[in-house]
Amino acid sequence: MSTSDKARHEAENVKGKIKEAVGHATGDDEKVVEGKGDQASAKLKKAGDDVKDAFTS
């Protein structure tokens, strides 16, 4: 997995955490769900890349 992929996935995860925190602070349940979705997506992409790395190492 390239460094740019790692950075992109971490940025997506951080963006999700921020959305979730803003949603909690403002009482916006939709924003909380969006944030959790962004985090889950980033984690899934990272897991896929980890599996790919395991087979290429």
Domain ranges of the chain: 3-56
Quick check: helix, strand or coil at residue 27? Answer: coil
CB neighbour list of residue 42: distance below 8 Å, 6 or more residues apart:
9, 10, 12, 13, 16
Phi, psi of 36 (to 5 degrees): -65, -35
CB neighbour list of residue 53: distance below 8 Å, 6 or more residues apart:
1
Q: What is the pTM of this model?
A: 0.84
pLDDT digits (tens, 9 = 90+) for 10-29: 999 999 999 999 999 999 99
- Could you give the C-alpha distances from 27 to 16, 21, 32, 53, in angstroms and in order? 16, 10, 9, 40
Q: Which two tokens stand for residue 41?
A: 């997506």
Q: How confident is the model at residue 49 (pLDDT cuts 50, 70, 90)?
A: confident
